[in-house]
Amino acid sequence: MHLADALAYIDGLLTRSRPAPSGDERIKLRRARELLERLGHPQRLPMVLVAGTKGKGSTAAMMASVLQVAGHTVGLYTKPHLVDYRERFRVNGRLITPEELCEGVAAIAPHVEEMADGPDGPPTYFEASVAIAFWYFARRRVDLAIVEVGLGGRLDATNVADPLLSVITPVSFDHMDVLGTTLSSITREKAGITRPGGTVVSAAQVPEALAAIIDVCARQEARLILVPAVMRVEPEEITLHDQTFTMRSTVRSYGRLRLPLVGAHQLTNAATAVAAVEMLAERGFPSGPPSVAEGLAAVRWPARVEVIHERPYVVVDVAHNPASLAALRQALEALFRGRRIILVFGMIATHDHRAGTSLIAPLASTVIVTTPRHAKPLPGAVLAEEVRRYVARVEVIDDRRAALDRALDLAGEEDVVVVTGSFFLVGEAREALHRNGRWGTRTQV
C-alpha cells in the first residue's frame, strides 16, 4: 500500500458511515470497541484523555513536550490536522512516517471491511483514526499516550480507553446540535471521560460548567483538581512570538518560564498542562521544574496566534468557535493595538458563525470572506451577511488563494492580515504561503 492509497482509504470512510439506528449513539463506542478488540486491544496502555471546547490541542502538546524532556516516550494524538493527516500521530514530537501510516491502515482495513457488513456498519473516519493512533502507540511501545478527545467525550471513540488521568480544558458553547443546548449538558458530555475513582484535572471554568464537572466527579467518586486552586501564573512580557511568566503550584515553584505561544489563553493552557503533569508524577511519570521549563520552551504548535510574516504582519489562527475567537481577539488587541487589521474569514456550517463573527469582525477594517474546503462549509455569501453587520468593507471571494492574495494586496507594511475561522482554511493558507516561496514560516508542522 502506498501513502496515497492509505489516505484515500481513510478519506473514503467519510462517506461510508451510517446514522445510528433510532438515535442510539452508543453505536459509536460499540464500533470503536469492536475494532480495537480485533486489533488486540492496543488502547490498553497508560493514557491521558484531554477534553474541552478550546485549548485541548495546545494543552496536550505542552504536556507531551514536558514529559518527553523528562525522559518518557510519549505518544500524542490530536485532531484535526492542518495540512498532513500524519500530523495527528506523533511520538516524541515526530510524525508517524508514511510507511508506518500505510501499515496502520493495512492493519485496520480488513476489520473495517468485515464490520461494514455488520449491523452497526463500518467505523467512521474518526473511529478509524483513533484505532490507528492506539495501534501506532502500542507498536512504538510508548510509556504514555496523550490523547485529544474528539466531539464531546462520553460517546467519543477515544473514551474506550481507561485513562490514568482525565483533563478538561475550558468548556463553552459549541456543537450544540450534538452535545446539547445548555452549558451544563455540553459539560456533562465532555466530563464523560471521568472514571469511577479516577482523577480529573479541570482548567478554569465558568460557574455553570464548573458545577457540572463537580457533580459528575461527585457521582463517580473521582478526585477533582481545580487548576485555579493549585496553580498561580503571573504574566510578564509578551512579544509577537513568545511570552514569559512565572508559575508556582501548591507544591513547588517553577520560576520564570518562556512559552513560544502567545495569548492569555495559552497561560491557562500551560497551567492546566503543568497541573496534569504534577498528577502524573504521582502515577509513575516523574518530571520537575527543569523539565517543565525546557518542555514549555520547546513546544511547537502551529497556527495558534502564529505570526508567520512581518511587514505586513500575517497571523494565522485556527479559532473556529466563539470561545476561541474571543481568545484570538484578546491576543490581537494585546499585540497589534492601533494597527489596521484585514481579516480573511471562513467558517464551517456546524459552528456558531453569528456569535463568532460578532467577536472577531469588529476588529477589522476590511474582511475578505471565503469558503473553506470542507464537506460542510458555510457559504461565503451567508457569512458575509453577518459580517456586514459589523464592518463596512466586505468582499466575498470563494477561491481561498485569491482571497488570501487580495488581503495581502490590500495590506500596507504596518497592517495585519489575520486568517482564521476554520482549521481547514488556516491550514490551506499556511501551506500556500510557505510553498509559493513568498515567505517561509518560523514553525514547521
Q: What phi, psi does 72 have (nearest 5°)? A: -95, 150
**Axis crossing angle, helix 98-116 with helix 27-38, rounded to the nearest 10:** 120
Domain residues for 180? 3-298
User: Which of the four pLDDT bands, split at 50, 70 and 90, describes residue 178?
Assistant: low
Strands 393-396 and 89-91: unpaired
Sheet holding 47-51, edge to edge: 94-95, 89-91, 74-77, 144-148, 47-51, 165-168, 199-202, 223-226
pLDDT beyond 50 at 138: yes
The answer to whether position 239 is within a domain reads yes
Task: Based on the fold, state whether residues 133 and 275 are members of the same structural domain.
Answer: yes
Task: Based on the fold, state whether residues 69 and 100 are members of the same structural domain.
Answer: yes
How many residues would you count in the chain? 445
**298, 324, 342: which is the final residue of a domain?**
298
How far is it, in rounded angstroms, from Cα 345 to Cα 396? 10
The answer to whether position 314 is within a domain reads yes
Overall average pLDDT of the 231-246 stretch: 98
Task: Based on the fold, state whether residues 166 and 271 are members of the same structural domain.
Answer: yes
Kindly state the DSSP code that residue 54 receives in the 8-state scheme. Answer: S
What's the domain count of the chain?
A: 2
Task: Based on the fold, state whether residues 250 and 355 are members of the same structural domain.
Answer: no
Overall average pLDDT of the 269-286 stretch: 98
End-to-end CA distance of the chain: 25
pLDDT score at 177: 58
Per residue in 71-105, pLDDT (tens digit) is: 999 999 999 999 999 999 999 999 999 999 999 99
pLDDT beyond 80 at 26: no
Closest CA to 106 of 86, 132, 124, 87: 132
Paired with 341 in beta bridges are 416
- Vertex 192: Cα angle to 189 and 195 (nearest 5): 170
Sheet holding 243-249, edge to edge: 231-238, 243-249, 253-259
Q: Of 93-102, 196-205, 265-274, 347-356, which gets the smallest average pLDDT? A: 347-356
Task: Based on the fold, state whether residues 89 and 227 are members of the same structural domain.
Answer: yes
**248, 281, 298: which is the final residue of a domain?**
298
Look-up of cell digits 493558507: 429
pTM: 0.94
Overall average pLDDT of the 119-139 stretch: 96
How crowded is residue 299: how many other Cβ atoms within 10 Å of its Cβ? 23
The answer to whether position 312 is within a domain reads yes
- Mean residue pLDDT of the chain comes to 93
C-alpha cell at 265: 489563553
How far is it, in rounded angstroms, from Cα 237 to Cα 24? 50
Overall average pLDDT of the 106-114 stretch: 98
Q: Is 237 exposed, middle or buried (0-12, 13-18, 19+ CB in 10 A)?
A: exposed
pLDDT score at 331: 97
pLDDT score at 212: 97
Overall average pLDDT of the 149-175 stretch: 89
The answer to whether position 440 is within a domain reads no
Closest CA to 227 of 178, 274, 262, 285: 274
Overall average pLDDT of the 194-220 stretch: 97
Overall average pLDDT of the 424-436 stretch: 87
Kindly state the DSSP code that residue 404 receives in the 8-state scheme. Answer: H
How far is it, in rounded angstroms, from Cα 321 to Cα 327? 10
The answer to whether position 442 is within a domain reads no
pLDDT beyond 50 at 443: no
How far is it, in rounded angstroms, from Cα 19 to Cα 305? 36
Task: Based on the fold, state whether residues 54 and 150 are members of the same structural domain.
Answer: yes
**265, 298, 331: which is the final residue of a domain?**
298
Overall average pLDDT of the 133-154 stretch: 95
Task: Based on the fold, state whether residues 145 and 264 are members of the same structural domain.
Answer: yes
Overall average pLDDT of the 214-242 stretch: 98
pLDDT score at 20: 59
Indicate which CATH number applies to the domain containing 320: 3.90.190.20
Task: Based on the fold, state whether residues 229 and 357 are members of the same structural domain.
Answer: no
pLDDT beyond 90 at 293: yes
Q: What phi, psi does 367 have (nearest 5°)? A: -125, 125
* Pairs from 32-35 (Cβ < 8 Å, separation ≥ 24): 32/123, 32/127, 32/130, 32/131, 32/157, 32/160, 33/160, 34/115, 34/120, 35/108, 35/111, 35/112, 35/115, 35/123, 35/127, 35/128, 35/131
C-alpha cell at 42: 492496543
Task: Based on the fold, state whether residues 407 and 366 are members of the same structural domain.
Answer: yes
pLDDT score at 97: 98
The answer to whether position 325 is within a domain reads yes
Task: Based on the fold, state whether residues 378 and 318 are members of the same structural domain.
Answer: yes
In percent, the amount of the chain with pLDDT more than 70 equals 94
Check if the beta carbon of residue 327 is closer than 8 Å to that of residue 314. Answer: no
The answer to whether position 443 is within a domain reads no
C-alpha cell at 223: 478526585
Indicate which CATH number applies to the domain containing 273: 3.40.1190.10
Kindly state the DSSP code that residue 378 receives in the 8-state scheme. Answer: P
User: Which of the four pLDDT bands, split at 50, 70 and 90, describes residue 286?
Assistant: very high
Q: Which helix (H) or strand (E) holds 147?
A: strand 144-148
Q: Which residues contact 4 (CB under 8 A, 6 or more apart)?
A: none
Peptide bond into 80 cis (omega under 30): yes
pLDDT beyond 80 at 141: yes
pLDDT beyond 70 at 123: yes
Overall average pLDDT of the 204-210 stretch: 97
pLDDT beyond 60 at 151: yes
The answer to whether position 169 is within a domain reads yes
Per residue in 358-415, pLDDT (tens digit) is: 999 999 999 999 999 888 899 999 999 999 999 999 999 999 999 999 999 999 999 9
